[in-house]
With several copies, the nearest count.
Chain A
Amino acid sequence: MSKVAIIGVGQSSFVRGYAGSIRELAFEAYAEAMSDAGLTNDQIGATVVCSAPEYDKQRSPAGVIVEHLGLNPQPTFYTESLCCSSTTGLKLAYSLVQSGLHDSVMVIGFQKMSEITSAESQERMGRGADIQWESPFGTMMPAYYAMFAQGYLDQYGASEEDLALIRVKAATYGQLNERAVYRKPVDLAQCLAADPVASPLKLMDCCANADGSSCIIVASEEKAKQWGVAQPVWIRGLGSASAPVNLALRESFSSFAAATEAGRQAYAMAGIGPKDIDVAEVHDCFTIAEMLAYEDLGFAPRGGGPELIRAKETYKEGSIPVNVDGGLLSKGHPIGATGGSQLRTIVLQLRGQAGDIQVKDPEFGLVHNMGGVGIYGNVVILGR
């Protein structure tokens, strides 16, 4: 089977209240990725546009975005899987190339959460759960993740301090990331003293909303060579899985089955294991989410996550650096753009272009991106 490469990456700054429209926001990531890849529009065979649509006034946003980017008449495929929309987009892009339908595909992720009012946003958040059987009880995203935090702490005797250590690490690297929305230092005492949001999670356990865009360009091996791409990064493993929306139908409240299954698939396709991963981006919308990822991905055994962060093994100098770009906790979480931002970080790492946060000579990198509260799970393994 021939290989599929990532040949260009781009990302806007992640900000509060972007002063432009969604098409203008998408342009920022597009422009960077196109320059990175050294392409012109006629070399793009199709686009996959990714977002969570309820944050836009614009219906069917793919249309206005590809119009603005000059990407007509190429077909566009819009996809949504909540917070992991753009890694879902990557899998679709891979399949469109690997199937022979298109030589190259651009994955555009974006979210302008400030497009709607904060009250409208709150209302939509309530409808992210099962609207028939969960939302009527008054649910919200932090409380869902908090139920996994409660389940996890209870099962393994871990502490709120263990979760806080993850935020401290995120802030360590967020300070270095010029495109992050939150760049202040954060210490342990500050995390533990923060206002409660949904027990046991506090303000510092939660990432911020942000507006942002990301862009990833993939191409066939043949085109990557033909176009003289200097440092193609190869898609080595792809895994994705789903779990029931309603928590009443879940088996565990201390792990995500969809992440575990997606990881298993991605490792199998790549023919490697967790120990082969040199750098990872995991979905840390809340501190507990990163803790679960350590174990779901096999970086630590079940219950071993707290020891991993206490020993600083997921810092840049550790055995498995995780979210050394600051993670969603620092960067912010513009839903549709998030997965693409994670992919970009790993691509830059594998190319040796990650600057201050460059890990030493990585061969394999991993992206773990979740939609909803473990409803959708995507794991991507990239290699040089």
Chain B
Amino acid sequence: MSGSKKPEADRRFAKFGTVSFTATTKVNDFIGYLEEGQVCGTKCVTCGSVFFPPRAQCYKCRDKARIEWFQVQGSGKLATYSELKYAPTGFGEDLPYAIAVLDMGGYKLFGRIGDVPLDQVRVGMELTPVAHELPGGQINYVFNRC
């Protein structure tokens, strides 16, 4: 996989999440893929490290790193979660919602529970990460039933 890179003006990451806090990153292609419906991580071909969240740099290989994108596929096990009764500034409209960690085996994802009713969420259940459009042109990913 590859993606276009516009170092000077690439602020795509401002689209990530209900409220985005940072816009400039070398892994902005994550947003490009997400908009195409793909949740992607990166791997370093040199050493085999798998990165989620994705990274454009590998601390094991430094200048010898070769970074490529890969698509997160299949399902994982819910490692833990919490349902929020209060939300930080800007997230009030989203309540109630749950944040969670999904264990994909070789790596984990931090994100939100998607289409599971909150009273049915259980640690250990199988869920799948999927791209998710938000109001106002924003986008994130959520963990849905398989």
Contacts and interface: CB of A to CB of B under 8 A. Distances in A.
Contact of B89 (A70, A126, A247, A250): A126
Nearest to B134: A136
B21 A139 contact: no
Contacts of A253: 79-80, 101
Given A246-B53, A248-B53, A19 B8 contact: yes
A135 interface: yes
Interface string B81-94: 11111111111001
How many A residues touch the partner, as a band?
35 or more
A138 interface: yes
B87 A140 contact: yes
Interface stretch (A75-83, A144-152, A299-307, A316-324): A144-152
Main secondary structure of the interface of B (DSSP, over half): loop
Nearest to A145: B82
Contact of A249 (B57, B90, B108): B108
A19 B7 contact: yes
A195 B24 CA distance: 33
A114 B26 CA distance: 15
B97 to A, nearest CB: 7
A132 B82 contact: no
Contacts of A34: 62
A151 B100 CA distance: 11
A246 B110 contact: yes
Closest 5 CB pairs of A and B: A136-B17, A138-B91, A19-B7, A70-B59, A146-B82
Interface of A: 17-21, 24, 27, 30-31, 34-35, 41, 57-58, 68-71, 114-115, 119, 122-123, 125-127, 130-140, 142-144, 146-151, 154, 195-201, 246-250, 253
